[in-house]
Amino acid sequence: MRATLLFAILFLSSITHAEFFKGPMSSAMGGTGRAGINSSEGAFLNPAVIPLIKNYEFIGFFRDGDIGQGQHRQGWALGVVDNSEDVFFPGAAHYGRIRDTGRSPAGINGEIWHVAGAFLYKDILSFGASAYRVQYKSKGDRAYTQWNGSLGVVALVNDLISVAYVYDNVARPGSATPVALREDPKHSLGFFGRVGDLMSFRADLTREMEFNPDGRLTYMAGVETKTSDWFMFRLGYRLDDLRQQRVATAGLGFNGPRLKVDYAIEKNLEGTSGALHSVDLRIPF
């Protein structure tokens, strides 16, 4: 048992987090957004943010690049979020495909189905839940299917500040699923603060519950500022104490009346020459 635990810790320390999915807005701000992000990608981070999204839209994601030595990521997803006045429970749904190298010798292909819903109580507390089915398969190997979900809450302190808690992957994956492909339980805290209409700040803290005997944390921070009525600039930083990784992030956003586009770049500062790029296209209904 001790040998298995030691192997798992060493293996996980050599790869990036086997994260579920993340869009360019969060990516540009260090991976933050659990206490509020105005896009359906927020449902991946915390289903409770859905009632805070001010519009309902169709969205497409794409990402490609290297986030570590020998760790290439590529993926796309389509989604929709509905928070119109006629909807009692705001919700979001996504479908995506991913391909990652570095998580198995032959690389893995993944398929994601994701749904989420939430309820806003008296404009003070938002409660959300999500469910997903993810299937990973590497060349010449069997497919590994996981059913899981997340629970989240956002507390709206006032018009400028909100805080959040998320319990990701509430169902433990089966032991037959390889360690590198598992979506294990994780606890997260999030903070959002806004300075007028010009700038906002986000800070998130996560702790993985498996193969983390020392309780090491991942620290994330990001800032978003409006450069004009239609353009946003974003910066962020992520420190993963478990894997000893430092990642700098940046991005741009175009917030047009009928078309919205976001771009992000993530750069691992631990000696790798590559970078991970992601982009989305959002069309409000």
Residue 205 DSSP label: E
Q: What is the pTM of this model?
A: 0.89
Residue 249, pLDDT > 50, answer yes
Gap between the Cα atoms of 179 and 200, Å rounded:
37
Task: Kindly report the average pLDDT of the chain as a whole number.
Answer: 87
Residue 190 has pLDDT above 80, yes or no: yes
Select the more confidently predicted residue: 204 or 83.
204
At residue 151 the predicted structure's pLDDT band, cuts being 50, 70 and 90, is very high
pLDDT of 3 > 50? The answer is no
Quick one: which of 186, 240, 246, 181 has its CA closest to 216? 240
β-partners of residue 227 are none
- How far, in Å, CA of 130 to CA of 171, rounded? 12
Q: Average the pLDDT over 69-84 and give the result.
A: 88
Q: How many CB atoms lie within 10 A of CB 42?
A: 28
Neighbours of 236 (CB within 10 A): 26
The predicted pLDDT at position 172 comes to 78
pLDDT at 135: 92
Name the residue type at position 174.
G
What is the DSSP pairing of strand 125-138 with strand 143-156?
antiparallel
Query: Is residue 132 within 8 Å of residue 107, measured between CB atoms?
Result: no
Structure letter (DSSP) for residue 9: H
Spell out the domain ranges in the chain: 2-284
Query: What is the rounded average pLDDT of the residues 87-99?
Result: 91
Position 282 scores a pLDDT of: 94
Exposed/middle/buried for residue 181 (C-beta within 10 Å: 0-12, 13-18, 19+): buried
Q: Is a pLDDT exceeding 70 seen at residue 7?
A: no
Give the per-residue pLDDT at 15: 43
Lowest mean pLDDT among 8-22, 97-111, 117-131, 268-282: 8-22
- The pLDDT of residue 246 is above 50: yes
Query: Is the pLDDT confidence value at 82 over 80?
Result: yes
Please count the other Cβ atoms lying within 10 Å of the Cβ belonging to residue 277: 18
CATH superfamily of 2-284: Outer membrane protein transport protein (OMPP1/FadL/TodX) (2.40.160.60)
Encoded tokens for 14? 């050599």
Determine the Cα–Cα distance for residues 266 and 256; give it in Å rounded to an integer: 24
Mean pLDDT of 238-243: 92
Residue 261 pLDDT more than 70? yes
Cβ contacts of 45 within 8 Å, gap of 6 or more: 22, 26, 33, 34, 37, 166, 188, 190
